[in-house]
Amino acid sequence: MTHRSELLMPAGSLRKLKMAILYGADAVYLGTPDLSLRTKSQFSLEEVVEGVEFCHAHGKRAYLTLNLFSHNKDVPKLEEYIDTVRKVKPDGLIIADPGVFQFVKDRAPDLPLHISTQANVSSWLSVKFWEDHGAELVVLAREVSFAELTEIREKCPDIKLEAFVHGAMCMTYSGRCLLSNFMSERGANQGNCANSCRWNYKVRMRLKDGTVQELDINEDNADMFEFLLEEGCRPGELMPIEEDGRGSYILNSRDLCIMPKLDDYLRVGVDSLKVEGRGKSEYYAAIVARAYRMAIDDYYEDPENWSPHKYMRELESVGNRGYTLAFHDGRLSNYSHDYEQTEALAQWEYAGVVTDVTEDAFHVAVKNKLEAGEVLDFVSPVSRETVLLRMYEFELVSGEIKEAVHGGAQATIKVPFSLFDHEDIEDLKARFPVYSVVRKEKALTTEQWNRVKFDKLVQGLETGGKRNDKAYEKRRDALAESVAENTSERRFKTNRVGVDGCCGKGCNGCLIFWEDDTYARAREALQTRKNGEQLSRAEAKALKGPLVIPTVSA
């Protein structure tokens, strides 16, 4: 197979850029905050140059975002920007504004020009237009269905096509939004969106005397009335306008995730598979890049037997609002939205990042609170097998020993290689270089656990093309009830202490697994595995129990 789709990752800072590249991106897109639709982008012009050079040194590509809709005040900046970045020869400039397109074409004809999603390209006719004007690549709008994408590919074989496969969805037409400007005076089309569509909204009533009062639905009057919204294309599907004192999220879209249909995109030859998220964390950049890197490579290795399931499990360890195929089939369903809760959450969280590899230990900068008994999952940028390590105490680089370390304290801990008593140390150093991420389980509230279960059900129904209204309503109502209860009590998926706290997969340094008779059978099975490979959860469960040595009668 000669044609291979590239994995294009976002880079909101120089550090995120390096992590995305190390975890498998073929290319990244980046830009300065004033000209690139991301005012929170952490790149100076000098760092943009350094980022491009880093990509090229690793044999990867760098695309620069210049996709604002320009105002007069922006024009003087263009000249300096173009003259600076052309010296490092970026692999493309992403542009939306026709005036900016012509400016760059005239001043720097050597730079490849890409058309941004902000240009709303949704047909082969528009692709042809930009091709005729000199564009090398066109980013298709999120609203393009897979059937439309296939036709565009057939009618436009000589220009590169880029499609979004993962990330946040915008409730307006490919970002053409005025809601943020109106609500908070922050220009969505100039990189400063306030995400007003994700706010919760409450119902107010205006009385005949002109006063405005909050419509408070409580246990005393909830049975008297209910306000519902019915949309014309979905008769009978009644969406509650107000369910509780916190309001409703009637514009809240789930996050795009094409992974269940990724093989379709690879098969038709989409040139660039784009992940959204320059404003998201470095953990997001690393884990999402890793998941799609494995999925893409495995497809090209064996397309007939490719399955998305193990890569979806990886993506579920990153904070999300629930996943949807969005416009893949041409129109949205109720599965694409969540009216109950808008939080981005996951069962795992960022524990830390390797900042140094010394002769005897990893140095790990702590990102979230660590407590004695935590199992850390070391996620390698060069190997598929992660390494689990249970920590019973934490040694700061200063030598101080603690039972708990807080991420906000900018603490760095030492993780001695002596704790990895079932790993080859030199192999361990090679698999976990600087910028390797470490994750851990996250404790969630009842509301959050119900959201996770609801998201899993909805994702399965949507990707399977089936309806199960009874199951959908049951999970939705359970979430709504827990939202109303608003309890702050949190729990982990697995226990933290005692024999019951062991996952049974064979963590390095887990005294429970390596010493307790309960895991004797599992230990014996693990000895036959290659270095660094753990048992699966299913295997761990099946093998739990002591060895039974048969007696021989005399």
CATH number for the domain spanning 422: value is 2.40.30.10
pLDDT, tens digit (0-9, with 9 covering 90-100), for 522-536: 988 888 887 667 888
Comparing 84 with 239, the larger pLDDT belongs to: 84
Does residue 392 lie within any of the structural domains?
yes
Q: Is the pLDDT of residue 40 over 70?
A: no
pLDDT confidence of residue 396: 96
Section 263-287 average pLDDT: 96
- Among the candidates 299, 315, 331, a domain finishes at 315
| Sign of the torsion angle spanned by Cα atoms 328, 332, 335, 341 | positive
Does residue 524 lie within any of the structural domains?
yes
Instruction: Label residue 243 by pLDDT band (50, 70, 90).
Output: very low
The CB density around residue 399, as the number of other CB atoms within 10 Å, is 7
Region of 277 please: left (phi>0), alpha (psi -120 to 50) or beta: left
- Please tell me whether residues 273 and 401 are part of one structural domain: no
Q: Is the pLDDT of residue 120 over 50?
A: yes
Does residue 499 lie within any of the structural domains?
yes
- Among the candidates 452, 467, 491, a domain finishes at 491
- Please tell me whether residues 388 and 521 are part of one structural domain: yes
pLDDT confidence of residue 476: 87
pLDDT, tens digit (0-9, with 9 covering 90-100), for 167-178: 988 766 666 666
pLDDT confidence of residue 15: 95
The pTM is what? 0.84
Which H helix or E strand runs over 274? strand 272-275
Does residue 243 lie within any of the structural domains?
no
- Please tell me whether residues 409 and 483 are part of one structural domain: no
Name the β-bridge partners of 323.
Answer: 255
pLDDT confidence of residue 324: 93
Does residue 195 lie within any of the structural domains?
no
pLDDT, tens digit (0-9, with 9 covering 90-100), for 89-107: 999 999 999 999 999 999 9
- Please tell me whether residues 293 and 437 are part of one structural domain: no
Write down the mean pLDDT value for the chain. 86
- Please tell me whether residues 357 and 468 are part of one structural domain: no
Section 321-350 average pLDDT: 86
Rounded-to-integer distance, Cα 386 and Cα 428, Å: 11
Domain region containing 487: 444-491
Q: Looking at this protein, which amino acid is placed at residue 217?
A: I
Reading the block at residue 200, the tokens are: 């919760």
> Are 431 and 508 spatial neighbours (Cβ–Cβ below 8 Å)?
no
pLDDT confidence of residue 161: 98
Rounded-to-integer distance, Cα 33 and Cα 44, Å: 8
Section 20-38 average pLDDT: 85
- Please tell me whether residues 401 and 288 are part of one structural domain: no
> Are 324 and 256 spatial neighbours (Cβ–Cβ below 8 Å)?
yes
The CB density around residue 268, as the number of other CB atoms within 10 Å, is 17
- Please tell me whether residues 480 and 509 are part of one structural domain: no
pLDDT, tens digit (0-9, with 9 covering 90-100), for 281-318: 999 999 999 999 999 999 999 999 999 999 999 999 99
Split into its structural domains, the chain has a count of 3
CA distance to 116, 212, 216, 330, 508, per residue, from 206 (Å): 44, 4, 13, 40, 64
pLDDT confidence of residue 68: 82
Instruction: Label residue 138 by pLDDT band (50, 70, 90).
Output: very high
- Please tell me whether residues 404 and 450 are part of one structural domain: no
pLDDT confidence of residue 252: 76
Rounded-to-integer distance, Cα 462 and Cα 272, Å: 25
Does residue 63 lie within any of the structural domains?
yes
pLDDT confidence of residue 343: 85
Strands 228-230 and 238-240: antiparallel
Q: 49: exposed, middle or buried (C-beta count within 10 Å: 0-12, 13-18, 19+)?
A: middle
- Please tell me whether residues 22 and 121 are part of one structural domain: yes
Region of 167 please: left (phi>0), alpha (psi -120 to 50) or beta: left
The region of weakest confidence among 39-43, 258-262, 346-350, 463-467 is 39-43
Q: What percent of the chain has pLDDT over 70?
A: 80
Which H helix or E strand runs over 267? helix 262-268
Q: What is the CATH number of the domain that holds 45?
A: 3.20.20.70
Reading the block at residue 128, the tokens are: 């042809």
Rounded-to-integer distance, Cα 323 and Cα 333, Å: 13
- Please tell me whether residues 143 and 33 are part of one structural domain: yes
- Please tell me whether residues 379 and 482 are part of one structural domain: no
Q: Is the pLDDT of residue 210 over 90?
A: no
Does residue 304 lie within any of the structural domains?
yes
- Please tell me whether residues 291 and 259 are part of one structural domain: yes
Q: What would the DSSP string read from start to end of 482-535?
A: HHHH----EE-SS-SSSGGG--SS--BT-HHHHH-GGGHHHHHHHTTSPTTPPP
What is the greatest pairwise CA distance in the chain? Answer: 100
Q: Is the pLDDT of residue 506 over 90?
A: no
Does residue 93 lie within any of the structural domains?
yes
pLDDT confidence of residue 281: 93
The region of weakest confidence among 23-27, 140-144, 179-183, 516-520 is 179-183
Comparing 479 with 261, the larger pLDDT belongs to: 261
pLDDT, tens digit (0-9, with 9 covering 90-100), for 179-208: 666 666 666 655 667 676 666 665 565 666
Name the β-bridge partners of 211.
Answer: none
